[in-house]
């Protein structure tokens, strides 16, 4: 066949195109490399360099994140070009030890939270305060010579509209100068008889004015917020407070023997770390556990608490209960994050209506005889006899002629719990009815559990009768158990459902779970501890646990959580000196300026007096009530009497956030401060 040149070229291009397409097709179909195990072969890794560049760092260091949540997570910061570029958890809690060699276990991982991970963004963020600022109106007040805060002046200097004022920048020297002049002006204004008269005219009750003892410095309220999380810096405010004694000495011309400084505002109690009902139940301040105790819990009841969002690095102990086969019950008004993990959620009306639930469960357990008799008789005070005429416990000395106190000097009350002879003299021994011998028997506070049984004591739970006292009087007595039967009459499940709005079947289900599962733990939070009737709530939570022996074994108990024990604290001791007190209350009249001085050489002397900020949050007044029947009654005792608040200095705490009834504080109370 004759081909023209044109035909030849055309055919050649076509063949080449086919070949090229086939080659391409083959290349696409063929594996790039023969790979048996893709996990071992990763041929193209060049792109990773981008990330290596991004994550490259020049140096790193560790620190402890120590905000108010008290989790104290150890963090590693990575630095590049002098800037912290990222924060990570080092996963090393099992690798470092305390001075005695104790380590935690890796089970504490993971730690940290999203706030901790982004702390450096706050440090470098545009809203970080990097220099002193002063409210414009306050500066003008100072520049005008601190005139009286009459209603007109409160408005002129915006004491009644602080939020609408603006801030001015100061140098540190100017800031110190303004603060010092403000201190002098306020302390002078409220010192001595003229100061007392001024406070009287401002409407403060005499009890508060008397508590001033003539010292204007007593109107200063200082709070080192959550100071155990940074004792030197935060509790430095308490040291400053103590030093105000120097100012008082200068203003009133008194010596160290009469000088008084400011009031130190509390932390633990007012903002809710303290579960107020706990001391009522067991005499200890608060039951506050490490949350790894949840590993042992088989029934976890979470009431008004959000372990998921508020206890971030410890929340895994809670969620792991599911893996360990435990049961979770959440009591809360809203379907909150912990409720999403629960086996069942008991919705309730807000306002601690759950108190009724625990009282109802207690009644159900008693009525259905679903309690641990050995535990109740051996470890609770429910068998003790109470006089119905005085509602006080029957004392052994009241009923046994010539009774001699029987507590042994080498027993746990004196040797372990630190009971003093004076305290024991007030306390005395108690009385129960012995079921086996059918007679009254004395019992000491050491007679619990096996110790009690070794003495042949067999307490009756259900008993009431008349007894003749040593003075010949006859009184009715009954066991605390009998009294609780009366007290709980109102708490049948229908009534409890009506009070709490919780479904009756769920309350009964919980009662049955408490009766049949062990260990049981009940956890509640600071929100609950804030309530005025939190005492009743806390006590009610203990009752079902007392009935079922769910106290004193791992995974059991009723707990709140503050976690302050995680913070470092330098304790006072015979060999170290006053410790913490040497910092917050070193005598300002006798400071030790030797940087090499031993701690024992520091002289501590407190010129301060503690005060509960709750009084500031109560209209800056103590609890005084004009009763219809008894007239004016002062319910605040002398030990707790507040003084008027004229200066507030605080750090690391949000007082307005802690306070109730914020409008009242901003509108009516703080304009006087
Ligand atoms: S939980 Fe978060 S904020 Fe709290 S200490 Fe740990 S990292 Fe810091």
Write the secondary structure of 406-426 as one string of H (helix), E (strand) and C (coil): CCCCCCHHHHCCCCCHHHHHH
Is 613 touching ligand 1 by the criterion CB < 6 Å? no
Residue 566 lies in a domain: no
Residues 197 and 254 reside in one and the same domain = yes
Ligand 1 contacts CB of residue 581 (under 6 A): no
From CA 525, how far away is CA 337, in angstroms rounded? Answer: 14
Which residue out of 313, 317, 567 has the highest number of ligand 1 atoms within 8 Å of its CB and is therefore the one to mutate? Answer: 313
Helix 136-143 / helix 172-189 crossing angle, nearest 10 deg: 60
- Find how far residue 579's CA is from the centre of its chain: 23
Q: Could you tell me if residue 46 is inside a domain?
A: no
Q: Give me 193's structure tokens.
A: 């008889």
- The pLDDT confidence band at residue 29, using thresholds 50, 70 and 90, is low
Cα(67)–Cα(61) distance, integer angstroms: 19
Predicted local distance difference test score (pLDDT) of residue 69: 80
- Asked if residue 587 has its Cβ within 6 Å of ligand 1, the reply is no
How deeply is 495 buried, as exposed, middle or buried, from its count of CB atoms within 10 A (0-12, 13-18, 19+)? middle
Q: Is residue 220 part of a domain?
A: yes
The predicted structure's pLDDT at residue 32: 59
For residues 343-361, average pLDDT:
94
Domain assignment of residue 96, given as a range: 58-124
Would you put residue 540 in left (φ > 0), alpha (ψ -120 to 50) or beta? alpha
Amino acid 58: pLDDT? 97
d(Cα 201, Cα 211) in Å, to the nearest integer? 16
- ipTM for the whole complex: 1.00
Please give the full DSSP string across 334-389, using - where no structure is assigned.
S--HHHHT-SEEEE--TTTTHHHHHHHHHHHHHHTT-S-HHHHHHHSSTTSEEETT
Region of 295 (left: φ > 0; alpha: ψ -120 to 50; beta: rest) is: alpha
Top-confidence residue, 33 or 336: 336
Question: Do 243 and 206 belong together in one domain?
Answer: yes
Could you tell me if the CB of 113 is within 6 A of ligand 1? yes
Q: Residue 292's domain is classified under what CATH number? A: 3.40.228.10
Residue 629 CA, distance from chain mean position: 39
Q: What's the rounded Cα separation, in Å, for the pair 265 and 581?
A: 16
Residues 349 and 432 in one domain: no
Residues 245 and 324 grouped into a single domain: no
User: What is the atom index within ligand 1 of the atom nearest the CA of 313?
Assistant: 1
pLDDT for residue 11 is more than 50: yes
For residue 38, the CA-to-ligand 1 centroid distance in Å is 39
Q: Is the pLDDT score of 657 beyond 50?
A: yes
In DSSP notation, 524-581 reads E-HHHHTSTTHHHHHHHHHHHHHHHT-SSSTT-EEE----GGGS-----BTTTBSTHH
Q: Give CA–CA dist 586/511, Å, rounded.
A: 54
Tally Cβ neighbours within 10 Å of residue 300: 27
Cross-strand partners of 651:
224
Can you give the pLDDT at residue 17? 46
Distances (CA, A) of 309 to 109, 161, 296, 313, 316: 17, 35, 22, 9, 11
Do 337 and 250 share a domain, yes or no? no
Closest atom, ligand 1, to C-alpha of 72: 5
The pLDDT of residue 290 is: 87
Ligand 1 center from residue 174 Cα (angstroms): 35
Is residue 317 in some structural domain? yes
> What pLDDT score was predicted for residue 564?
67
Cα 606 to Cα 243, 421, 513, 575, 609, distances in angstroms: 9, 28, 52, 21, 8
Q: Which atom of ligand 1 is nearest to the CA of 66?
A: 5
Residue 149 lies in a domain: no
Confidence of residue 570 (pLDDT cuts 50, 70, 90): confident
C-beta of 653 in contact with ligand 1 (< 6 A): no
CB 158 within 8 A of CB 164: yes
Task: For tokens 């068998």, name the residue.
Answer: 383
- Measuring CA to CA, which residue among 305, 166, 271 is closest to residue 656? 271
Determine the Cα–Cα distance for residues 227 and 497; give it in Å rounded to an integer: 42
Contacts of 219 (CB under 8 A, 6+ apart): 186, 187, 190, 212, 262, 643, 644, 645, 646, 647
Burial (CB < 10 A; 0-12, 13-18, 19+), residue 79, is: middle
* Exposed e or buried b per residue across 53-63, where buried means at least 16 C-beta atoms within 10 angstroms of its C-beta: eeeeeeeeeee
What per-residue string of b and e applies to 213-251 under the rule 16 or more CB within 10 Å gives b?
ebbbbbbbbbbbbbbbbbbeebbbbbbbbbbbbbbbbeb
Q: What is the pLDDT of residue 19?
A: 45
Examine residue 35 and state whether it is found in any structural domain, yes or no.
Answer: no
| Alpha-carbon span 411 to 149, nearest angstrom | 61
pLDDT mean over 249-255: 98
Q: Is 269 helix (H, G, I), strand (E, B) or coil?
A: coil
Question: Per the domain annotation, does 30 fall within a domain?
Answer: no
Q: Which of 561, 588, 604 is the last residue of a domain?
A: 561
Residue 479 contacts residue 487 (beta carbons within 8 Å): no
**SS3 (DSSP) at 148:** coil
pLDDT averaged over the chain? 92
Our answer on whether the CB atom of 312 is closer than 6 Å to any ligand 1 atom is yes
* pLDDT surpassing 70 at residue 40: yes
- Identify the domain boundary among 509, 532, 561: 561
| pLDDT > 70 fraction of the chain, expressed in percent and rounded | 94
3-state class (DSSP) for residue 227: helix
Half-sphere exposure of 58 (CA within 13 A, CB side): 7
Q: Which of 516, 536, 561 is the last residue of a domain?
A: 561
> Do residue 597 and residue 663 come from a single domain?
yes
- pLDDT tens sequence across 153-178: 999 999 999 999 999 999 999 999 99
Indicate which atom in ligand 1 lies nearest the CA of residue 117. Answer: 7
Q: What number does the ligand 1 atom closest to the CA of 64 have?
A: 5
Q: What ligand 1 atom has the least distance to the C-alpha of 75?
A: 7
Which pLDDT value is given to residue 230? 81
Q: How far apart are CA 546 and CA 539, in angstroms?
A: 11
Query: Is residue 116 lining ligand 1, measured as CB closer than 6 Å?
Result: yes
The CA 313 to ligand 1 mean position distance, Å, reads: 7
Q: Which range has the worst mean pLDDT, 116-120, 271-275, 397-401, 479-483?
A: 271-275
Question: Ligand 1 centre and the CA of 226: distance in Å?
Answer: 15
Closest to 520 measured CA to CA, from 310, 328, 318: 328
Nearest CA to ligand 1 atom 3: 116
Classify 436 as helix, strand or coil. Answer: coil
Closest atom of ligand 1 to 111 CA is 6
301 with 358, same domain: the answer is yes
Examine residue 343 and state whether it is found in any structural domain, yes or no: yes
- Distance separating alpha carbons of residues 663 and 653, to the nearest angstrom: 19
CATH code at 112? 2.20.25
Q: Does the C-beta of 315 come closer than 6 Å to ligand 1?
A: no
Give pLDDT tens digits for 76-112: 999 999 999 999 999 998 898 888 999 989 999 989 9
pLDDT of res. 18: 45
Q: How many independent structural domains does the chain possess?
A: 4
Q: How far apart are CA 18 and CA 168, in angstroms?
A: 80
Gyration radius of the chain's alpha carbons? 34
ω into residue 135 within 30 of 0, thus cis?
A: no
Q: Are residues 321 and 239 in the same domain?
A: no
The three-class DSSP label of residue 132 is: coil
Same domain, 313 and 443: no
Q: Distance from the CA of 290 to the center of ligand 1, in angstroms?
A: 16
Would you state the pLDDT for residue 284?
87
* Three-state secondary structure call for residue 538: helix
Same domain, 189 and 334: no
> Is 536 a pocket residue for ligand 1 (Cβ < 6 Å)?
no
């Amino acid at each position: 066949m004759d081909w023209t040149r044109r035909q030849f070229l055309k055919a050649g291009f076509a063949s080449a195109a086919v070949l090229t397409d086939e080659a391409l097709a083959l290349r696409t179909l063929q594996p790039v490399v023969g790979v048996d195990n893709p996990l071992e072969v990763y041929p193209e890794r060049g792109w990773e360099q981008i990330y290596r560049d991004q994550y490259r760092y020049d140096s790193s260091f560790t620190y402890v994140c120590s905000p108010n949540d008290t989790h104290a997570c150890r963090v590693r910061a990575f630095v590049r070009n002098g800037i912290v570029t990222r924060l990570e958890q080092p996963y090393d809690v099992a690798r470092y030890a305390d001075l005695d060699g104790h380590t935690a276990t890796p089970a504490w991982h993971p730690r940290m939270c999203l706030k901790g991970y982004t702390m450096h963004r706050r440090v470098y963020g545009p809203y970080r305060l990097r220099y002193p600022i002063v409210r414009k109106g306050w500066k003008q007040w100072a520049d005008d010579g601190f005139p009286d805060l009459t209603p007109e002046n409160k408005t002129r200097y915006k004491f009644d509209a602080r939020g609408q004022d603006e801030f001015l920048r100061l140098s540190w020297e100017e800031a110190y100068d303004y603060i010092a002049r403000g201190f002098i002006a306020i302390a002078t204004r409220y010192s001595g008889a003229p100061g007392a008269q001024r406070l009287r005219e401002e409407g403060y009750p005499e009890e508060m004015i008397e508590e001033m003892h003539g010292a204007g410095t007593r109107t200063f309220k200082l709070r080192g917020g959550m100071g155990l999380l940074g004792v030197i810096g935060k509790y430095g405010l308490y040291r400053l407070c103590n030093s105000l004694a120097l100012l008082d000495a200068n203003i009133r011309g008194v010596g160290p023997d009469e000088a008084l400084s400011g009031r130190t505002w509390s932390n633990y109690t007012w903002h809710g770390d303290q579960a107020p009902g706990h001391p009522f139940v067991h005499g200890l301040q608060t039951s506050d556990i490490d949350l790894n105790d949840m590993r042992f819990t088989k029934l976890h009841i979470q009431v008004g608490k959000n372990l998921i969002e508020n206890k971030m690095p410890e929340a895994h102990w809670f969620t792991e209960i599911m893996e360990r086969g435990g049961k979770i019950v959440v009591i809360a008004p809203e379907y909150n994050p912990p409720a999403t993990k629960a086996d069942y959620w008991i919705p309730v009306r807000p306002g601690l209506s759950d108190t009724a639930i625990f009282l109802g469960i207690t009644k159900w357990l008693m009525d259905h005889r679903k309690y641990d008799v050995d535990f109740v008789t051996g470890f609770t005070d429910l068998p003790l006899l109470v006089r119905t005429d005085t509602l006080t416990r029957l004392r052994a000395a009241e009923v046994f002629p010539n009774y001699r106190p029987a507590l042994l000097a080498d027993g746990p009350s004196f040797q372990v719990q630190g009971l003093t002879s004076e305290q024991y003299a007030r306390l005395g021994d108690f009385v129960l009815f012995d079921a086996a011998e059918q007679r009254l028997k004395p019992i000491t506070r050491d007679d619990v559990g096996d110790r009690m049984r070794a003495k042949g004591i067999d307490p009756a739970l259900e008993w009431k009768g008349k007894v003749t006292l040593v003075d010949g009087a006859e009184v009715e007595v009954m066991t605390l158990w009998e009294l609780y039967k009366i007290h709980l009459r109102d708490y049948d499940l229908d009534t409890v459902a009506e009070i709490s709005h919780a479904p009756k079947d769920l309350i009964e289900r919980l009662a049955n779970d408490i009766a049949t599962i062990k260990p049981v733990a009940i956890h509640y939070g600071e929100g609950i501890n804030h309530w005025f009737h939190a005492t009743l709530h806390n006590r009610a939570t203990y009752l079902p646990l007392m009935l079922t022996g769910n106290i004193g074994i791992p995974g059991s108990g009723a707990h709140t959580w503050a976690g302050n024990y995680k913070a470092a604290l330098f304790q006072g001791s015979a060999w170290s000196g006053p410790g913490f007190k040497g910092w917050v209350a070193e005598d300002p009249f006798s400071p030790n300026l030797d940087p090499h001085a031993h701690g024992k050489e520091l002289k501590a002397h407190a010129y301060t007096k503690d005060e509960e900020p709750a009084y500031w949050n109560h209209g800056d007044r103590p609890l005084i009530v004009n009763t219809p029947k008894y007239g004016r009654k002062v319910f605040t005792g002398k030990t707790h009497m507040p003084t008027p608040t004229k200066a507030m200095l605080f750090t690391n705490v949000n007082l307005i956030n802690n306070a109730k009834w914020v409008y009242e504080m901003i509108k009516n109370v703080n304009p006087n401060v």
